[in-house]
Amino acid sequence: ESVAELALAFLLNLARRIPRAQAAMCSLPKGDIGILSALLKQYNLTGFDLEGKTLGIIGTGRIGSTLAKKCIAAFDMKVYGYDPYVSAAEMKSFGVIKVDRLTEMLPKIEFLTVHCPLTEETKGMVGKKELALLKKGVNVVNTARGGIINEKDLYEALTLGHVAGAALDVFEIEPPDPEDPLLKHPNVLATPHYAGTTEESLYRIGIVMVEEVVNFLQGKPVRYPVNPEVLKAK
């Protein structure tokens, strides 16, 4: 829930260019209210609605499916999903249209969000070729793991103007270099891998930890073992 909410916040920030608007307000000369209209043009602050736009989701597990439901319910967005491990019927149950190939989805969407784990299969899966398939002016969000999107290719696409904006909570190297040009790009919104850090999510984590300890001490199966092979050996 918490990660999906940050992804949604990113979508809204990119659509309405909120960080750029904040920068514009901080540059406003004292008492010169007439310059506001000039700032709109100077900072390119004319955004757009999320209503009715098309979203593509990579990874439609718990987080991806939660985001899809929120975007459909709140903004009537059309949502495509790419996930080899989720059936078309299951995606349909939460309103998502399944695509069998990532390249099939990319030309159709105005927003791309990433919610899959980083594996050998997903590492670098969004690179120069995939970014080129996206519509010009697309916005990209990653709250999953760094390395799924090739950061050098993303920076190039942003600099060329093919990708309008990106919001990133994760990076290939964490913490990223403060001098990383991607962090300094004016159309990039970056946060410190904190998507799951809310009071509610931390409370839920604590509850699950206690439940796991109790289950183990009572001889019951644990739900989230880090070394499941040990349990299988028994």
Indicate whether 54 and 124 sit together in one domain: yes
Q: Is residue 26 part of a domain?
A: no
Side by side, the strands of the sheet bearing 163-168 are 97-99, 78-82, 54-58, 111-114, 138-142, 163-168, 188-190
Indicate whether 127 and 11 sit together in one domain: yes
Indicate whether 74 and 116 sit together in one domain: yes
Cβ(233)–Cβ(41) below 8 Å: no
Instruction: Verify whether residue 20 is a known catalytic residue.
Output: no
Q: Is residue 179 part of a domain?
A: yes
CA–CA dist 175, 152 (Å, integer):
16
Instruction: Verify whether residue 16 is a known catalytic residue.
Output: no
- Could you tell me where the beta strands, DSSP code E, fall in 118-221? 138-142, 163-168, 188-190
What amino acid is encoded at 41 in this protein?
K
Cβ(169)–Cβ(6) below 8 Å: yes
User: Residue range 133-151: average pLDDT?
Assistant: 98
| pLDDT digits 0-9 by tens, 164-187 | 999 999 999 999 999 999 999 999
Q: Is residue 141 part of a domain?
A: yes
Indicate whether 67 and 6 sit together in one domain: yes
pLDDT of residue 26: 81
Q: Is residue 28 part of a domain?
A: no
For 78, which DSSP code? E
Residue 161 has pLDDT above 70, yes or no: yes
Indicate whether 220 and 136 sit together in one domain: no
| Structural domains in the chain (count) | 2
User: Residue range 7-36: average pLDDT?
Assistant: 84
Looking at 110, 130, 145, 172, which residue is catalytic? 145
Indicate whether 59 and 170 sit together in one domain: yes
Indicate whether 207 and 178 sit together in one domain: no
Q: Is residue 32 part of a domain?
A: no
| pLDDT digits 0-9 by tens, 58-96 | 999 999 999 999 999 999 999 999 999 999 999 999 999
Q: What is the residue range of 222's domain?
A: 199-233
Instruction: Verify whether residue 145 is a known catalytic residue.
Output: yes
Q: Is residue 25 part of a domain?
A: no
Indicate whether 78 and 109 sit together in one domain: yes
pLDDT of residue 222: 87
pLDDT band at 33 (very low <50, low <70, confident <90, very high): low
Indicate whether 127 and 210 sit together in one domain: no
Burial of residue 16 (CB within 10 Å: 0-12, 13-18, 19+) is: middle
Residue 201 has pLDDT above 90, yes or no: no
pLDDT of residue 120: 96
**Model pTM?**
0.88
pLDDT of residue 202: 87
pLDDT band at 34 (very low <50, low <70, confident <90, very high): low
Q: Is residue 63 part of a domain?
A: yes
Q: Is residue 93 part of a domain?
A: yes
Ramachandran category for residue 52: left, alpha or beta (phi over 0 → left; psi -120 to 50 → alpha): left
CATH number, domain at 161?
3.40.50.720
pLDDT of residue 63: 97
Indicate whether 11 and 119 sit together in one domain: yes
Residues facing residue 11 across a β-bridge: none
pLDDT of residue 234: 58
Indicate whether 173 and 222 sit together in one domain: no
Looking at 193, 204, 211, 212, which residue is catalytic? 193
Indicate whether 175 and 208 sit together in one domain: no
Which tokens hold the place of 123? 């590492």
